[in-house]
Amino acid sequence: MTLMKTAVGVAMLGIAVVCTTTTASASRQAAETPAVVCGPGYQVKREASFTGGVAYLLYNAAKRNACAVTFKTKEVGARTLVWSAVDVKGAGVVKNEEITPLHTVPVYHAVPTGSYVKFSGGTKTADSGGGYERIK
């Protein structure tokens, strides 16, 4: 991650105080997309917007794997609660919840041929998702 640092020095009576702040580069945040986060071969199949973010369901046909990731659209850069989940009917749910400045770590689930999949994602104050559908 590209980091920018700002240092301010103040000298009073021979005492130096240094304050340092670190922020993620805006260009780094803009370069991250659901497909980049999930990895090579993953394509967005569905998405669901909610107040404060967007939940995505991606699929990699070669691996027969689904990926869910949630991106924030409000409070980007601030560390707040974000979560995402993927549910393969009859095979269980995989969920990730974390405090993060931009998006969740992706969650993956094996998707056998013909399976029905649903996904969801959200923040502390809102969420969204979709019902079971076959991934094509």
Name the pTM for this structure: 0.78
pLDDT greater than 70 at residue 8: no
Beta carbons within 8 Å of 109's beta carbon, 6+ residues apart? 65, 66, 68, 86, 87, 88, 91, 92, 94, 117
Domain ranges, ordered by start, for the chain: 34-134
Phi-psi category of residue 88: left, alpha or beta, with phi > 0 → left and psi -120 to 50 → alpha: beta
pLDDT digits (tens, 9 = 90+) for 18-44: 333 334 444 455 579 999 999 999 999
Q: Please, which residues bridge with residue 85 across strands?
A: 95, 120
pLDDT digits (tens, 9 = 90+) for 124-134: 999 999 999 99
pLDDT greater than 70 at residue 6: no
Tell me yes or no: is domain 34-134 CATH 3.40.50: no
pLDDT digits (tens, 9 = 90+) for 51-102: 999 999 999 999 999 999 999 999 999 999 999 999 999 999 999 999 999 9
